[in-house]
Amino acid sequence: MLRPLRGLSMTEGNSARHSLKAKTMQDLSYLEALMGEPVGEEGYRDIWGLASAVEGRLSDLSLQTVGKARGLADGLGAYVRFLLAGAPDEETAQTLIAHGADYVYLAPGQADAETLAAFLRERKPEIVLLDDSITNRALAARVAQALDASLVTEAEDVRADPIDRALLVTRPIYEGIASQVIACLAKPQIVTVRAGAFPLPYPDRSRTGSIEQLSASWQPDAVQYEPAPEVASPPALTTARIVVSAGRGMEDAEGFALVQQLAARLGAAIAGDRGALDMGWIGPEQQVGALGVIVTPALYIACGIEGTTEHYLGMEGARAVIALCRESDAPLLKAADWGIIGSPKEIVRALVEAMG
């Protein structure tokens, strides 16, 4: 199934030595590295990852995932092996190696569940890390079901239990009011990792690793995808994840246009307080408050709103609040997770720029 592209020039190289340094004496996995014998349960070994290059570039999330895999591998005494799907080239593979991979396998196409499951069944990985995305969640779920593996999606944190090597994965529950630690009992242990859960690793261009070309034929998915035109309608105010809200502090139509820009940049719904209604910027159906609409977004950005009780009653359910206010004694500042005092117009303009 495997056709080496380049000889296994560094199979045991700096990775094994590197991990030896990090070992404690209870952890016998270093013996595996020395003797070439698996010590993991039933021969499940190494940390596998799946990455996909888009136009020759790896996403930040993929780099975060490979960095985390490296960290876990160092703790467990294991190799990091990455499947690189899409239209992979050697340069992308080298980037993975620089960020912590020991082996990179170039797959000729997108990974489909059947082939990936067959591949992993043969390879017996101890851990499989994937970037958390809609596609990968479905892929991971199919593979886990096929292999009778453990699976935890949307991981915010991944640790290995120092005693039994079991992965302890943290993920949000009840739409994020708390997080649950979940222990993986079955191997392989498959985890999809959320964006931003781990820091971007620093690349070490001097790291070396092996690159192999896989010849297996990856099946095209039975599902056909075609790009669809975006529907430009902003999200409904009551179900939007982010709400950007304007008040009289935005001064004039130009100021409100900045608020609209910020909302468009974030894919947020636009709202306002009574002041914005009086200015004619928003309709009554966009007025947030006890007398208008009550919103409960994950993030509420109040631009130039001082914050009456009436308004507060409409947005108190927001998970996080930002208040951009002119006056340092604006009531909303006390209810905000972050506040910035100054000209709301200038701050909103700076925010749009800072988001790039």
Partner 1 sequence: MDFSLTEEQQMFRDLFAEFAAKEVAPQAAALDAEERPPLAALQKAAQQGFLGAPLPEAYGGAGLDMLGYTLLLEALGRACLSTAFTVHTHTGLAALTVLRHGTEEQKERYLPALAAGERTGAFALTEPEAGSDFGNLRTRARREGDSYVLDGTKTWVANGEIAGLFVIFACTEGGVTPFLIEREANGLTVGRRERTLGLRGLALNPLYLEGCRVLVESRLGAEGEGLAIARAAQDRGRLSVAAMSLGAAQATLDLGITFALQRKQFGVFIAEKQAIQNYLADSSAEIAALRHLVDSVAWKADQGGDYTQDAAIAKLFGSQVALRVANRMVQVHGGAGYMKDYPIERWFRDARALDIAEGPGLLQRAVIAREMLAEKGIAVVA
Partner 2 sequence: MRIAVCIKQILDPRAVRLSRSREAIDPRQAARIVNPPDRYALEAALRLRERHGGEVIALSVGARDVSDALREALAMGADRAILLSDEMLAGADASGVARALARAVEHIGDVSLVLTGERALDTGGGTLPARLAQELGWPVVTDASEPQLEDSILRAFQRDEKQRWSVSVALPAVLAVTRQREKPRYPPALRIAWAYREAEVETWDCDDLGLSPEEISARHTEERNLVMPPERNLGFILSGSPEEAARSLVAELRGKRLI
Q: Which of 23, 137, 159, 326 binds partner 2 (CB under 8 A)?
A: 137
Dihedral, 245, 251, 255, 260 alpha carbons, nearest 10 = 20
User: How far apart, in whole angstroms, are the C-alpha atoms of residue 69 and residue 282?
Assistant: 49
Closer Cβ to partner 1, 11 or 308, answer by number: 308
- Restricted to residues 178-217, the positions that interact with partner 2 (CB under 8 A) are 178-186, 194-196
**Binding at 151: pick from partner 1, partner 2, none (beta carbon under 5-8 Å per type):** partner 2
Q: Which of 162, 176, 283, 284 binds partner 2 (CB under 8 A)?
A: 176
* Residue 309 sits in the site that holds partner 2 (CB under 8 A): no
Closer Cβ to partner 2, 12 or 60, answer by number: 60
How many of the chain's residues bind partner 1 (CB under 8 A)?
8
- Restricted to residues 293-322, the positions that interact with partner 1 (CB under 8 A) are 309-310, 312-313, 316
**Binding at 41: pick from partner 1, partner 2, none (beta carbon under 5-8 Å per type):** none
Asked whether the CA dihedral 171, 175, 179, 184 is positive or negative, the reply is negative
- Restricted to residues 269-288, the positions that interact with partner 1 (CB under 8 A) are 274
Give the per-residue contact string, 316-355, with partner 2 (x = CB under 8 A; - = no): ----x-x-----x----xxxxxxxxxxx--xx-xxx-xxx
User: How far apart, in whole angstroms, are the C-alpha atoms of residue 332 and residue 340?
Assistant: 11
Q: At what angle do helices 90-98 and 60-76 cross, to 10 degrees?
A: 50
The DSSP 8-state label assigned to residue 272 in this structure reads E
Q: In this structure, are residues 211 and 106 in contact, taking their beta carbons and an 8 Å threshold?
A: yes
Helix (H, G, I), strand (E, B) or coil at 343: coil
User: How far apart, in whole angstroms, are the C-alpha atoms of residue 118 and residue 36?
Assistant: 24
User: How far apart, in whole angstroms, are the C-alpha atoms of residue 99 and residue 87?
Assistant: 20
**Binding at 312: pick from partner 2, partner 1, none (beta carbon under 5-8 Å per type):** partner 1
Closer Cβ to partner 1, 124 or 274, answer by number: 274
Q: In this structure, are residues 215 and 1 in contact, taking their beta carbons and an 8 Å threshold?
A: yes
Closer Cβ to partner 2, 272 or 297, answer by number: 297
Question: Among the candidate windows 11-19, 174-182, 251-259, 272-280, which touches partner 2 by CB under 8 A?
Answer: 174-182
Closer Cβ to partner 1, 128 or 321, answer by number: 321
User: How far apart, in whole angstroms, are the C-alpha atoms of residue 145 and residue 142?
Assistant: 5
Helix (H, G, I), strand (E, B) or coil at 254: helix
Interface residues with partner 1 (CB under 8 A) are: 274, 290-291, 309-310, 312-313, 316
